[in-house]
Amino acid sequence: MREVKIAQVAGLGTRAAGASGAGASGAAGRERRPVPELQALAARGETALGFDADYADVIGWVAKHFETPAVAVACSMADAVLPYVVSQQLPGVDVLFLETGYHFDETVATRHRVADLLDVRVVDVAAARSVAEQDAAEGPELFRRDPARCCALRKVEPLNAALGGYELWFTGVRRDEAPTRANTPLVTWDAKNGLVKVNPLAAWSYERLMEFSEQHVLPANPLLTQGYPSIGCRPCTARVAPGADPRSGRWAGTDKTECGLHT
């Protein structure tokens, strides 16, 4: 089992306290490269890899230009394909798990299996306030009254703070998930978070993702086979009818379609 680190993120805090790696001082003990240099790298990567490069080539490009401590993988713990494929070329990579306090038990169990079985280090990224503290400050069940603010407090702000110590992050965003994601690039500059963003599985279908997971016997959230093709927080995730938009179960009954992490 790899080291498991806990990041309690408050406001604009830095990477997990006491964790080795990038942090404010950059990868491998050097300063984080300047923004213009990282922007130029992102532009070169986007040009070199195009729109449909193979996932292994995308990750290989990252491994060539970035050191492992400067890289993070975001994982919702629906499946473990992204952490697995990244760790094949960047062993020991940090995997960021947004511990919102509202997860399904199955999601938390999958998180533990990923930490136990893969060559990664799981970092739990938590909001500044616990759920109870948020209820006291904002009123109970903020997710029902203002889901956008709840996502901002429990997902977007903590992730933004955690990413401050890295030069690049991988996400599992796929183009087939929703119309808003249809043009997702493989490599881009993430201006909102201030680092390079890489989506190596962007061209994959859900079916390919599941086939790959089964072929490599990877940890997978059991909810995927119980009508939940897109898994978020328990209060805001519903079962999806067969053949329906995979993300139609997220914030069902509202006009909200994204939590804000990728917009």
Which residues carry out catalysis?
A: 259
Distances (CA, A) of 14 to 24, 98, 104, 149, 186: 7, 15, 27, 22, 27
Q: How far apart are CA 42 and CA 36, in angstroms?
A: 10
Antiparallel, parallel or unpaired: β 93-99 and 120-126: parallel
3-class SS letters over the chain:
CCCCEEEECCCCCCCCCCCCCCHHHCHHHCCCCCHHHHHHHHHHHHHHHCCCCCHHHHHHHHHHHCCHHHEEEECCCCECHHHHHHHHHCCCEEEEEEECCCCCHHHHHHHHHHHHHCCEEEEEEECCCCHHHHHHHHCCCHHHHCHHHHHHHHHHHHHHHHHHHCCEEECCCCCCCCHHHCCCCCEEEECCCCEEEECCCCCCCHHHHHHHHHHCCCCECHHHHHCCCCCCCHHHECCCCCCCCCCCCECCCCCCCCCCCCC
Cβ–Cβ under 8 Å, residues 168 and 195 = yes
What are 7's strand-pairing partners? Answer: 125
